[in-house]
Amino acid sequence: MGSAKYEVEKFTGQNDFGLWRLKMRALLVHQGLVDALAGEAKAENATVDEERKKMQEKAHSAIILSLGDKVLRQVSKEKTAAGIWSKLESLYMTKSLVNRLYLKQSLYSFKMNEDKPVGEQLDHFNKLILDLENIDVTIDDEDQALLLLCSLPRAYSHFKETMLFGRDSVSIDEVQAAINSKELNERKEKKPTVNGEGLTAKGKTSKKYSKLDKKKPKSEKQKDGGESTFTIRCYHCKKEGHTRKVCPERLH
């Protein structure tokens, strides 16, 4: 059996570089090429040197094929996998003070909105954490959990108290799992269902109309049911259109 083929979505400069970098490195590990990212090293003999050269070329090609045209132009002068990797990090993973402060501010001011999907907002929070880790800024697990809890809207006040009450510590995984569970339960409760109460109400309505129908004159029932219309006939002259009481022949 042949080995499974894995591909990484091309990095275009518009998608998430941190995630692409993580996936690309995993692909190079899977292909046995990750050592190429460390740069060239002097080999002990010609055979080893030839193998290392082939590995470098394969890694270089793998990265090139995983880049969009715009990004590829920016790194086209780099001839090694390590060179491309370093260039991409300098372009899209800047560790400058401005960028570091911007990401920290975005994380500390992060607030969840009741009108937006919970999953999307948790993903954005996780992206901020990953972006900071990519520039060597690590946020403690418990601090992540507390930041996420503090970002929740007022409707989650009781939820926050429940998560913190009587605990010595709390983790980000526990908080995210609890938020997802709460969201799932709320969606289930909002889902419309046909229950006994609804069926009972329908039955009462049917009985109500049934009683009203009984009170209708026979002629009206026949009209409602689509049957022939009841015709008035005089018992005196046997003609239609009037009753015996107002019969012209009887009155004359």
145-174: average pLDDT: 92
Higher pLDDT, 172 or 48: 172
| 169-203 as b/e: b if 16+ CB within 10 A | ebebeebbeebeeeeeeeeeeeeeeeeeeeeeeee
pLDDT for residue 219 is more than 60:
no
How far is Cα 161 from Cα 164, in angstroms, rounded to an integer? 5
Split at pLDDT 50, 70, 90, the class of 197 is very low
DSSP class of 48:
H
| pLDDT level of residue 237 (50, 70, 90 thresholds) | confident
Write the DSSP string, 156-225.
GHHHHHHHHTT-S---HHHHHHHHHHHHHHHHHHHS----HHHHHHHHHHHHHHHHHHHHS-HHHHHHHT
pTM for the full predicted model = 0.61
Q: Is the pLDDT of residue 6 over 70?
A: yes
d(C-alpha 93, C-alpha 248), whole Å: 106
- Cβ proximity of 21 and 91 under 8 Å: no
Helix, strand or coil, per DSSP, at residue 233 = strand
Q: Does the structure show a pLDDT above 50 at 172? A: yes
Note the pLDDT of residue 190: 77
In this prediction, residue 86 carries a pLDDT of 94
User: Which residues fall within 8 angstroms of residue 74, CB to CB, at 6 or more apart?
Assistant: 87, 91
**Nearest of 79, 137, 63 to residue 106 by alpha carbon:** 137
Across the chain, what does the average pLDDT equal?
A: 82
Residue 117 C-alpha from the chain's centroid: 6
The secondary structure of residue 36, as a DSSP letter, is: G
Let me know: does 222 contact 228? Beta carbons within 8 Å: yes
Q: At what angle do helices 157-164 and 172-190 cross, to 10 degrees?
A: 140
